[in-house]
Amino acid sequence: MRGTLCEALWDNAAKFSLLDVIINLHIHDFPGCSINTMDLAAISGNLNILHFLFHHKNQKCSKKAMNGACAYGHLKVVKFLYKFLLLQCNINEAIELAKINGHTNIVTFLEKNLKKQKNLH
C-alpha cells in the first residue's frame, strides 16, 4: 500500500504542476517517482517538472508523454522531449495527434526536425 500512496503523491504533484512538492519528495528521498510521473508532467505541460525529474531523478517517460504534449499543444514540452527523450515516442503518431487537435506549430516543428533527421542518414 505504501508504494501506491507514494506513487500517487509523485503523480498528483506532476499532474497539478506542484514543483515545490516534487522537490520536497526528492529531498526527502520518497520512493514512487515513475515513468507515469514524467508522462503526467508532460501531458500537463509542466516543463519545469520535466527538467527537474530528468536531471535529478534521471527519469524516463513513455510515448504517452510526447503524444499528450502534442495533443494538448505544449510546444516547449515537445521540444524538450524531442531533444532529450526522442527514443520513447513514435513521431508520426505524435504529429497526427497534433494535427487532429489543430496544433500546427507542433506539426511544423516535428516535420521540420524529422526531415533534418532523414537528411543526416
pLDDT at 1: 41
Grid coordinates standing for 111? Answer: 516535420
Domain boundaries 2-120, CATH class: mainly alpha
Name the residue among 35, 48, 109, 40 with its Cα closest to residue 78: 109
Residues 6+ apart with CB under 8 A from 38: 14, 50, 53, 54, 59, 60, 61, 62, 65
Tell me the per-residue pLDDT of 47-62, one tens digit each, with 9 for 90 and over: 999 999 999 998 899 9
Tell me the per-residue pLDDT of 66-109, one tens digit each, with 9 for 90 and over: 999 999 999 999 999 998 887 667 889 999 999 999 999 999 99
Domain boundaries defined on the chain = 2-120
CA dihedral 76, 80, 86, 90 (to 10 degrees): -20
